[in-house]
Amino acid sequence: MPKAELVSRYPEISRTCAAAMRSCYSSWPAHSLFTDRSVFPESEVNRMLKKAVELGHMDIFEHGFLTWIVEASQLEVLNSLMEHRFLYVSEVGADRWLVTATIRSLLDTKGSSNPLLRELQKYLDELAPWISTQPEQSQIKQSPKEGYPEGTQVWLLSYTDFASLSGAVDVDPERLLWHGGFTFSLSGVSRSLTHQLVRHRLAAYSQQSQRHVAVAKGRAWYGMPPGISGAAAEEYRNFMDSAASLYAELLGRGIRKEDARFILPNATLTHITMTATAWEYRRMFSQRLDPAAQWEIRDVSWAMFSLAYIVLPSIAELEDPARSMSDVRDTLRRLLPILDESRNRFSKASPGDVLEIALPSDLLSHPVSAYLIKHRASRV
C-alpha cells in the first residue's frame, strides 16, 4: 500500500483560497482581504470555502500547493496519474516519489478507490477542516472601496518554502520548480493586462467580476497608457468620461451589470489573483521581460520576478528569449544586487511583516508598488 508524508504546504492555504474567491465579488483585492482580519475574519474564510464547495466553484482551491514524499510502485503512481492528471510527480529514489497537488485535487478525487489518492486524502481533514464543520455566521459587512487610489500594486501573497522543501528531500533543483510556486495578488491593472496574463495557461486565476461588481465612479476606474499625452490624452479622458456616464445611466435604468459592462474598454482597472508553479513563472518571465513585450505586463512581470527572486533566487536562471537578450542581462546585473539587499531584510523580518520592495524607477514605464509577506518557515 502507498504511504505519503506531507513535507511542504502553503502557509495559511485556506485564507489564500478564500481571499482569492472573495476578491472576485468585491472591490477589495485579495491582498487587502488576506492582510486585514477585521474585514475578513476566519469565520468568513470558512463560510466562503464551504460555499465554494456547495456551488461547485472548485477553481479557487487551486491557489496553493501541497507536496508529499510518497512510497509507491511505479504502477501505482501511473494509475493515479491516469485517474487524475493534475499531479506533479518526480522520482526521488526506488519506489519513492515527490508528489505535488492542490486542495482541489484532493476534493476532486474524494471517494476514489485508487490507493495512492486515498492516501493523500487522509490529510484533507487537517488541510480543510471547514469541510466537516459548520462555520460561524459572519457579522462583517464590507464597505466598498471607491476606485483604485493605490495605483498598480503587486503582492506576493503566499508561496512555497523552497528552502525547507529542498532540505526535506534530495531532488534535482530543476525538478524542484515543479513542486512549489507562488500566489500573486495584482490590483490596479487593466483588463488589457489580464487578457494577456491568462494566456499563461498552467496557472489558476481568480479575477474581479464585472458581472457582479460595478465599476467605481470617478476617473480612478481606468488606466492611462504612458504613450498617450497632450491633446490625445485629453480626448482619451473625455471618451472615458462618456463611457462612464453611459455605464452609470444604463445601471440607473435597471440594466444589469452583466449587460452594462459591454461598453467598458480594455483600460478598465481590475484585480486578479494568480497561482502557478515556479517553473511556469520562470517561463512567463522569460517571455514577458522581453523589451518588446507590452509595457504594462512587462512592468508587472519585473515586479513579480523581483518578489519571486527574494524567495527563490534560482528563478533568475531565465530561458530564451529573455536569456539571450543583452538588455535583459544588463538589467539583471544591475537589479540583482539591489534584490539581494532586500533578501537580507526579508531574512531578518518577523512572520506577518509586510516588506515593500523598491524597484528602480527607470526599470518601469509606469509606477508599480511591490510587496512581500513574510510567512513562518514551513513545518508540517
The catalytic residues are 288
User: What cell was used for 113?
Assistant: 478507490
Burial (CB < 10 A; 0-12, 13-18, 19+), residue 184, is: buried
Instruction: Tell me the C-alpha distance between 141 and 155, whole Å.
Output: 24
- CA nearest neighbour of 34 among 178, 170, 206, 194: 206
Q: At what angle do helices 326-348 and 295-311 cross, to 10 degrees?
A: 40
Phi, psi of 87 (to 5 degrees): -125, 140
The β-bridge partners of 4 are 70
Residue count of the chain? 380
User: What cell was used for 367?
Assistant: 509606477
Q: Where are the alpha helices (DSSP H) in 191-294?
A: 191-197, 230-252, 257-260, 278-288
**Which residues lie closer than 8 Å to 92 by C-beta, 6 or more apart?**
69, 98, 169, 170, 171
DSSP-assigned letter for residue 313: G
Is the CB of residue 131 less than 8 Å from the CB of residue 52?
Answer: no
Instruction: Tell me the C-alpha distance between 359 and 303, whole Å.
Output: 7
Place of cell 539583471: 332
Place of cell 517561463: 283
Phi, psi of 254 (to 5 degrees): 90, 5
Instruction: Tell me the C-alpha distance between 274 and 198, whole Å.
Output: 9
Place of cell 472591490: 27
Q: How far is CA 283 from CA 116, 203, 279, 286, 322, in A?
A: 30, 12, 6, 5, 10
